[in-house]
Chain A
Amino acid sequence: MIRTEQLKKRYKQKQILHDLSLDIKAGESVGITGPNGAGKTTLLKLLATIEKPTCGALFFEEKPYSSQIKTIRKRIGYIPQDISLFEGLRVKAQINAWRKLSAQTIDDTYMNEMIRILRLNEVMNRRSDDLSGGWKRKLHLCIGLLHKPEICLLDEPTAGIDMAAKVEIIDWLKKLNDAGMTLVYISHDWYELERLSKRLVLMDNGSIVFNGEKRELKDLPANEFSRELANIIHAGKKIVVHK
């Protein structure tokens, strides 16, 4: 569904991505992880059409990105890591505002169902600034997916929230994936990676160092990155790193 070829991205003098090639199939759930500064967010922004590559090519259903930006934006839902909501508005007004702003037709039944599953009804009349991190994150996700996208790009969707809210969100994302939505997400949380997808993409220094099923991780060569990875994806989860 999405394919990148020899993707490069440079900001001023800094090379962020090096010859990055990736293939994401429809209905897949792909978890991207790696140390800070590995280029994960940049990759997601490129896939979401927010950034343009310095070099290389992006394909959506085998057609170049550049020829179908509008179509891609309609079919993709991008959830940035930072919670981006209008300041001061109540939850109801917030959802309404984004619904009206959207260039896409919003399916009210789908929207109401999403609100119900995320239990946003409970906080509908509260100001979004006053909500806890978990509720804010749920609202943030709900708004990003209002237009019922086919592909969902999530940048650390459960960052900074408590375990209960995290489990709730992960279960919901799992359901969406089971229903056919393609998920591409960045995470540093092993529980999330374990629960949401079989396929894992490990990035380091702007390149993909591993792209495959989690069980293949044990074949990773022993190096500094592997040790760092072991730290990232919480110790005690049977990550085998050869020494």
Chain B
Amino acid sequence: MVTQLRLQFIRMLLSWKSLLFLFLFPLVIIMGLYPFLSVAVSGSQVPIAWVDDDNSEFSQLVYHRLQENDRLHIKTLNKEEARQQVQTGEVEAAFLIKAGFEEQLKTGETDEIISWIRSNSSTLDAFAKEKIASEAVRLLLNSKAAQFVAARQGNESWEKTYKLADSHWMPAPLFQMEFKWKMGVNTEGDAALPLSLQGVISFLLVYVMGMAAYFYNQWFKDKRSGVLERIKLSTGHVYYYYGAAFLIQLVLLISVTCFVFGLLVRVFQVEWGILTPWMLQFTVILTLVHAILFLMVLILRSPQVYFSISAGIILASFLLGGIPLETLDGLRVGAWLPHGWLFNQNWMEGFM
């Protein structure tokens, strides 16, 4: 088996032109799309619903500070309106400030003070979540500082200490806090990857699937040239040959996956935490497709038939995502590419 693995590895390296293309193409695509996608992601305003059940000084303060942000479009709604607009996609998500928000922050409590309502199509709301969280933490820490001083110097020093603490905050605090997810409106985890990037990932998935199919051409060459027969006669069987070829190719595909996601992290400054579930999905789909292709190579004799069926499978996975024509108008391509079909977030919740 070791000899077969070494041999298959060397043979893979010998087809260096195909390997180079395999890795260069995603690089070109990602680097080429970067200027467009970064503008698309940063240039749009994210519509957010604001439901204030506390109506306190603190909740108003957070609201005004959010309004100052160019990337957020805040709509003040009641609970029901917010829920409806999230469902219809008019707003990316809704943040419900519960009654007692200010009181809880002043006492240092953050549990269940904000509800985050979102749907399956919510993707860009993570930015708003971070912004709100940072403002809440800012208020919380200022209050704690003021309380600490007031406990020693009297209640009259609370206001002064609070203002002093607040003045030390940088304009764009980066703190995060845990949100309580509001269940019931197609809620999901915080896989907040811009749709444009989802589209890029899906496109690259189709590309890597195609390349996986292409690399199996070598097996047909071996069949045709009699190499396989010769291996069978020399070694007594072809199991190790197939096993080694399968493993080497799988490692190659996983390497490409890591490379693609590494590029996305590097170029688009996306956090690994957000990309990890996508990377897992990518790898699972690729492994499945790889296994199907492997079985086909074992069964089929004609490379023409093999490539036709492979193209069919790749195309089917593309189409089965469901191409709703109305979604071709913008960046929502991600929804109708393979991951949209095979892996929705609900599925992932069950999987993970």
Contact pattern, B 223-267, Cβ under 8 Å of A = 1, otherwise 0: 011110111111110000000000000000000000000000000
Q: CB distance A87 to B230 under 8 Å?
A: no
Contact pattern, A 132-150, Cβ under 8 Å of B = 1, otherwise 0: 0000000000011001000
Q: CB distance A103 to B236 under 8 Å?
A: yes
Segment with Cβ contacts to B, from A1-9, A93-101, A189-197: A93-101
| A84 at interface by CB-CB < 8 Å | yes
Q: How far is the CB of B282 from chain A (nearest CB, A)?
A: 30
Segment with Cβ contacts to B, from A75-83, A203-211, A220-228, A233-241: A75-83
Residues 1-47 of B at the A interface (beta carbon under 8 Å): 3-4, 7, 10-11, 14-15
| B163 at interface by CB-CB < 8 Å | no
- Of the four ranges (under 10, 10 to 19, 20 to 34, 35 or more), the interface on chain B belongs to 20 to 34
| B221 at interface by CB-CB < 8 Å | yes
Q: CB distance A101 to B234 under 8 Å?
A: yes
CA distance A117 to B232 in the complex (A): 27
Among candidates A70, A78, A84, A88, residue contacting B227 with C-beta atoms closer than 8 Å: A84
Q: Using CB atoms, name the residue of chain B closest to A73.
A: B233
Q: CB distance B15 to A100 under 8 Å?
A: no
Residues of chain A contacted by B15 (CB below 8 angstroms)? 88
Q: CB distance A73 to B236 under 8 Å?
A: yes
Q: How far is the CB of A181 from chain B (nearest CB, A)?
A: 17
Q: CB distance A93 to B236 under 8 Å?
A: no
Residues of chain B contacted by A50 (CB below 8 angstroms)? 229, 232-233
CA distance A76 to B230 in the complex (A): 12
Q: How far is the CB of A126 from chain B (nearest CB, A)?
A: 14
- A102 and B235 contact, Cβ closer than 8 Å, known pairs A83-B225, A84-B225: yes
Residues of chain B contacted by A98 (CB below 8 angstroms)? 230, 234
Q: How far is the CB of B219 from chain A (nearest CB, A)?
A: 12
CA distance A50 to B233 in the complex (A): 8
- A82 and B225 contact, Cβ closer than 8 Å, known pairs A88-B11, A144-B230: yes
| A85 at interface by CB-CB < 8 Å | yes
Among candidates A48, A86, A103, residue contacting B7 with C-beta atoms closer than 8 Å: A86
Q: How far is the CB of B265 from chain A (nearest CB, A)?
A: 34
| A114 at interface by CB-CB < 8 Å | no
Q: Which residue among B15, B227, B230 has the maximum number of chain A CB atoms within 10 Å of its CB?
A: B230
Q: How far is the CB of A129 from chain B (nearest CB, A)?
A: 10
Residues of chain A contacted by B3 (CB below 8 angstroms)? 97, 100-101
Across the A-B interface, the 6 shortest Cβ-Cβ residue pairs: A84-B226, A88-B14, A80-B226, A84-B227, A100-B3, A102-B234
23 contacts between A and B (CB under 8 A): A48-B233, A49-B233, A76-B233, A78-B229, A80-B226, A80-B229, A82-B225, A84-B226, A84-B227, A84-B229, A84-B230, A85-B225, A85-B227, A86-B11, A87-B221, A89-B10, A98-B230, A101-B4, A101-B7, A101-B231, A101-B234, A104-B234, A144-B230
A residues in contact (CB < 8 Å) with B: 48-50, 70, 73, 76, 78, 80, 82-89, 93, 97-98, 100-104, 143-144, 147
